[in-house]
Structure 1
Amino acid sequence: MSTPPFHQEARRIGELQRTQQQDEFRRALRALLMRPLMSPEHADFPAVRRQAERLREWFAREAGWPLHVDREGARLFKRPADLSDPTRGLPGYDRRRYVLLCLACAVLERADPQITLKLLGDRIMQQATDPALAARGFTFTLRTASERRELVAVCRTLLEHGVLERVAGEEANFVHESSWQHSDALYDVHRRLLAGMLAAVRGPSTWRTEDAPLDTESRLQSLVAELRVDSEQGHRDALRHHLARQLLDDPVLYTASLKADAQAYFINQRGTMAGRLCEAAGLVAEQRAEGLALVDENGQLTDVAMPAEGTEAHATLLVAEYLAQRLRQTGEPTLITEAEVADFLRNAVGRYGRYWRKSARAPGAERELAGLTLDRLHRLSLIVRDTDGLHPLPAIARFSLGQTEVRARNSDTLSLLESLT
């Protein structure tokens, strides 16, 4: 008996709807990985709201990350597996700027629904007089252009995350010595997103002074300490969540970096785990004897793209090939000094310098360029750095330069395109 035409059409429509639902789920999941604190103005927020229940279940099961979604925004409490990883954080932020960000959030928590840039700066100055901050050498006065620039950078971070919404004015003139006294901006404060800035299990204000942890490591651990079931299954769930967080958040997971129990679990389960994570997030697994990487082929989920355009990106690719060759020659990680990398880049100027910016070709510029390239490689988990130098890690062997192709864009400009093998 043949299937009636309307049944075939209904089946086709059903399959199309399931495909569309899966595509939307994947898009929403990827968007939350890139922007864990999401305002309603984000392009993917409607998809996140529609897929909220399924996303909550997936993140809780695979990574142990809670997800809260309502009409005012979404917050994926995306806690890293390694709290001490120095490669994480907001671009351009150091310890001082993070202090300013925390002070700004504290001010906004007590502020009216609207606040001006000047008023925010004045109240941060008041907060900065706290004896505990002064004892650590922290001051903030707004008297210098660098301090005002820091305040503007913090405001733009809060604008980017939807905590502030500009109503009038502009921040740019606030930095300049001649105009800052007469420049201002007005913001709406979105408290729902402000409350989600800290991805902690327990807020620091809940600790009594006499019970609060004393050192930085203990404080970090106390903020994210999660309740775990004291059973065999609870232990396996904790291991799975820890590994999934690394795979979703880090460029590569090396088996040797894991503790014994996590290493045994990973060796047995990494294929299954990779399959689930890749199917949901649209990633591709690269499994090697040394570990596992989940690769985003279009680079959307990558904080540090490689290869990419620009002098630093091109130099990074050249240094990666140089270090990969050194690793292949020795067959095991070997110590390489930053001076050796700088020497390599100085010698590369003759061949590739015409494609680099002028300042990178100046005598002595190779030292700064070496530092920038090694920082990128460190953030990609392709090298490990210590006080004596650096060690290339196994994943760097995947970067090998192919044949250089030079294409003319016009009569005056040439672009160098590097291919990966």
Structure 2
Amino acid sequence: MTDFATELAAERRIAARLLLKYPLVTRTSHPEEFPLVRRHADDLVAQFRQLLGYRLVVEAGFARLHKAGLDRDAGHHLTRTSGSPFTPRTYAYLALALSALTTAPEQLLFSELLTHIRAAAAEAGIDLGDVNRAVEKRALVAALKQLTAWGILSEDEGSMESYVGDERAEALLTIDREIARRMISGPVGQATSAPDLIARAADPGPGGARHSVRRRLVETPVVYVDDLTDDERDWLRRNQRREQRIFEEALGLDTEIRAEGVALFDHAEELTDLDFPAAGTIGWLALLLLERLVTSLRPAEPTVSVPVPDDLIGELLDQLVERHGKAFAKELLDHPDQLRHAVLDRLRAMRLAAQGPSGWVLLAAAARYAPEGHR
């Protein structure tokens, strides 16, 4: 490969990695990298379609990668600026606001947007209840702030956040309707219910096992063969070495293949939206708990999952809090049930543990975090 061809391949890889991490890239959000996306638009459209069955739209001011779903429990929730996850109510306001903004004028007042959102709710048969309650205001503002982060809304005068404390607060907003119209990826018009929408969004289409397995590899920390269908498992077994080369060339990712499953690794640590180990009370406590669970439960032979006695989780968490409590955030320690849920949810999201019908199980990748001397 000539130096020029090598440079072009490196540019495409940078642009593809950017789009995987940020499915919406705008001229404003990534001023240095966006020109690369535009320069290689045709190749990137073809690459994402062939590699993952994803649809890429590149316009003059933005690029939107329409990813597909995986299943009910595979996604990552949106969070508020405080770090707390979106509630179902916040997601409802987000959807209602998007539906209103696609046909709104380029500029409008915050009060006018509220009127449009309430009209959209009435048309959809959604009861918003007392919209002046503080909890409703916070949910609405969190949804609109997310739209601001995406570049769909911008505040020219005033502040939407003021609405939480003053229902008469006003702001002048500018809307990017083109981005708003491109945000929805799932086949909303075809779905007959929420579960049906999730199923349709996850359908790999003509790509079949090839796209469904690749999507899992790219979008989740580790893929266990026990979680795959027979067709997916057979496809992966036949093609795993070829896939190793493809992911390295297209995305700069290394592949680790084990009997229990396959994982992709990004040594640049750029493509994850959830670090582990991580700073903060939840991240640190999750790591400490995992180390102790692996030490206590590690089997003599490799296995995909090991049952975790429920009382062991509580016992180890109590010990860790007693020993390291001064270093943890007090507001979390004051709510032990929420703390336990957050820690286990972090392990679940990283595919290090899972909750089954009979309780929690430790998954194979957890063995990586055994303390020195226990590996």
TM-score (norm: length of structure 2):
0.89
Q: Is residue 285–residue 294 contact of structure 1 (8 Å, CA) maintained in 2? A: yes
In structure 2, the partner of 1:316 is: 286
Query: Could you tell me which of 194, 212, 215 is aligned with 1:216?
Result: 194
Deviates more, 1:392-401 or 1:332-341: 332-341
In structure 2, the partner of 1:336 is: 308
Quote the offset at 1:330 in angstroms.
Answer: 6.5
Which structure ranks higher in relative contact order (CA pairs < 8 Å, sequence separation ≥ 6)? Answer: 2
Query: Could you tell me which of 107, 110, 117 is aligned with 1:114?
Result: 107
Quote the offset at 1:101 in angstroms.
Answer: 1.2
Q: Is residue 63–residue 245 contact of structure 1 (8 Å, CA) maintained in 2? A: yes
Q: Is residue 64–residue 182 contact of structure 2 (8 Å, CA) maintained in 1? A: yes
In structure 2, the partner of 1:371 is: 341
Q: Deviations over 1:196-220 (max 9, x none)?
A: 11113x441xx5xxxx63x433233
- Partners of 1:284 and 1:375 in 2: how far apart? 26
Query: Could you tell me which of 23, 30, 44 is aligned with 1:36?
Result: 23
Deviates more, 1:63-72 or 1:386-395: 386-395
With over 3 angstroms needed to count, the CA separation of the structure-2 counterparts of 1:110 and 1:86, relative to structure 1, is same
Quote the offset at 1:175 in angstroms.
Answer: 0.9
Q: Is residue 281–residue 328 contact of structure 2 (8 Å, CA) maintained in 1? A: yes
The amino acid that maps onto 1:269 is: N
Q: Is residue 284–residue 296 contact of structure 1 (8 Å, CA) maintained in 2? A: yes
In structure 2, the partner of 1:283 is: 253
- Partners of 1:282 and 1:162 in 2: how far apart? 29
Q: Is residue 128–residue 140 contact of structure 1 (8 Å, CA) maintained in 2? A: no
With over 3 angstroms needed to count, the CA separation of the structure-2 counterparts of 1:327 and 1:394, relative to structure 1, is farther
In structure 1, the partner of 2:141 is: 152
- Partners of 1:128 and 1:140 in 2: how far apart? 11
Largest Rg, 1 or 2: 1
In structure 1, the partner of 2:171 is: 185
- Partners of 1:271 and 1:337 in 2: how far apart? 37
Q: What are structure 2's unaligned runs of at least 5 residues? A: 80-84
Q: Is residue 164–residue 190 contact of structure 1 (8 Å, CA) maintained in 2? A: yes
Quote the offset at 1:317 in angstroms.
Answer: 0.4
Query: 3-state DSSP class of the match of 1:384?
Result: strand
Deviates more, 1:31-40 or 1:248-257: 31-40
Residue 91 of structure 2 is aligned to residue 103 of structure 1? no
In structure 1, the partner of 2:319 is: 347
Q: Is residue 15–residue 36 contact of structure 2 (8 Å, CA) maintained in 1? A: yes
- Partners of 1:269 and 1:140 in 2: how far apart? 53
With over 3 angstroms needed to count, the CA separation of the structure-2 counterparts of 1:131 and 1:109, relative to structure 1, is closer
- Partners of 1:227 and 1:347 in 2: how far apart? 49
- Partners of 1:56 and 1:326 in 2: how far apart? 48
Q: Deviations over 1:4-29 (max 9, x none)?
A: xxxxxxx9xx62x4443333222211
What do you get for the CA RMSD once the two structures are aligned? 2.5
Quote the offset at 1:32 in angstroms.
Answer: 0.5
Quote the offset at 1:377 in angstroms.
Answer: 0.7
Query: 3-state DSSP class of the match of 1:76?
Result: strand
- Partners of 1:391 and 1:72 in 2: how far apart? 46
Query: Could you tell me which of 66, 81, 84 is aligned with 1:77?
Result: 66
Q: Is residue 278–residue 294 contact of structure 1 (8 Å, CA) maintained in 2? A: no
- Partners of 1:66 and 1:193 in 2: how far apart? 15
Query: Could you tell me which of 225, 232, 239 is aligned with 1:262?
Result: 232
In structure 2, the partner of 1:166 is: 155
- Partners of 2:151 and 2:144 in 1: how far apart? 10
Query: Could you tell me which of 53, 78, 82 is aligned with 1:90?
Result: 78
Residue 329 of structure 2 is aligned to residue 357 of structure 1? yes
- Partners of 1:147 and 1:86 in 2: how far apart? 28
With over 3 angstroms needed to count, the CA separation of the structure-2 counterparts of 1:128 and 1:203, relative to structure 1, is closer
Runs of 4+ in 1 over 6 A off after TM superposition: none
Quote the offset at 1:30 in angstroms.
Answer: 1.1
Q: Deviations over 1:113-138 (max 9, x none)?
A: 112222212222233234733xxxx4
Deviates more, 1:45-54 or 1:121-130: 121-130
Query: 3-state DSSP class of the match of 1:334?
Result: strand
Q: Deviations over 1:202-240 (max 9, x none)?
A: 441xx5xxxx63x43323334665763xxxxxxxx4221
Q: Is residue 117–residue 185 contact of structure 1 (8 Å, CA) maintained in 2? A: yes
In the comparison of the two structures, how many residue pairs are matched? 366
The amino acid that maps onto 2:8 is: Q
- Partners of 1:359 and 1:115 in 2: how far apart? 39
The amino acid that maps onto 1:27 is: I
TM-score (norm: length of structure 1):
0.80
- Partners of 2:107 and 2:188 in 1: how far apart? 25
The amino acid that maps onto 1:347 is: Q
With over 3 angstroms needed to count, the CA separation of the structure-2 counterparts of 1:260 and 1:86, relative to structure 1, is closer
The amino acid that maps onto 1:353 is: G
- Partners of 1:94 and 1:272 in 2: how far apart? 41
